[in-house]
Amino acid sequence: MKTDLIIAGFGGQGVLFAGQLLAHAALDADLHTTWYPSYGPEMRGGTANCTVVIADEPIGSPVVARPEAAIVLNLPSLDRYEPLVRPGGLLIVNASLIDREVRRTDVDVIPIPADDVAAELGNPRLTNMVLVGALLSRRAVFTLDHVAATLEKVLPERHRHLLPANRAALERGAELADEVGVAAATD
């Protein structure tokens, strides 16, 4: 088993934390993992992305040229990573900020209005967890319970009060991804 993905957006959207969470979840499951961050020099608003590789055997390189999946939180990230996702792969799109259709027809596209959902849940900083929940719905890398348990371990003490909201965001993202799948199957 090997899964690789890219998470990309602006700095401040929780891109790097989402990748770290998945890497920690892999470690908690006794799997091999790499987390490879990249970001611009700006504190917020610059580019940010990370690559996560999860496998049941040693990983040769953290670099992924053609990821199996991508979570894109903004239009520049969609423009950059849409062409790179492997055919048959998964592209999860933050439909709150991306106003164009995905051009690819050979990948599974899951548009999730993640910023809107995070706002409905009462915290705009939950966008990343909404999208991670959507990923977990479509790629059975880990269960929501496993990632939530890992989140409990890695979330800094000062943010512990946000655990229920993060869990709700994961669950809502998974629900929305499931709904998109049902709608696509009935079209």
Taking only the tens place, the pLDDT of each residue in 71-99 is: 999 999 999 999 999 999 999 999 999 99
Q: Provide, rounded to the nearest whole percent, the portion of the chain with pLDDT above 90.
A: 75
Flag whether pLDDT at 2 surpasses 50.
Answer: yes
Q: For the stretch 114-151, what's the b/e string if a residue is b when 16 or more beta carbons lie within 10 angstroms of its beta carbon? A: bbbbbeebeeebbbbbbbbbbbbbbbebbebeebbebb
Average pLDDT for the chain: 90
CA angle (132 as vertex; 23, 15 as ends), nearest 5: 70
Q: Which residues are within 8 A (CB) of 186 and not within 5 positions of it... i.e. 6 or more apart?
A: none
Its pTM surpasses 0.85: yes
Q: Region 44-48: what's the mean pLDDT?
A: 74
Q: Region 32-51: what's the mean pLDDT?
A: 83
At residue 187, the pLDDT reads 40
Q: Are 107 and 91 in contact (CB under 8 A)?
A: yes
- Phi, psi angles (nearest 5°) of residue 158: -65, -15
Q: Region 3-21: what's the mean pLDDT?
A: 92
Q: Region 120-144: what's the mean pLDDT?
A: 93
At residue 183, the pLDDT reads 47
Residue 69 burial (C-beta neighbours within 10 Å; 0-12, 13-18, 19+)? buried
**Beta strands 69-72; 90-94: pairing state:** parallel
Q: How many separate helices (H) and strands (E) can be counted in the chain? A: 6, 6
At residue 163, the pLDDT reads 92
DSSP-H helix ranges across the chain: 15-28, 75-81, 114-120, 127-138, 144-154, 163-186
Flag whether pLDDT at 25 surpasses 50.
Answer: yes
Q: Closest Cα to residue 166, out of 113, 109, 127?
A: 127
- Cα 76 to the chain's mean position, in Å? 16
Q: Is 108 helix (H, G, I), strand (E, B) or coil?
A: strand
Tokens of 157: 């003490």
| DSSP classification of residue 83 | G
The domains found in the chain, sorted by start residue, are 2-186 (3.40.920.10)
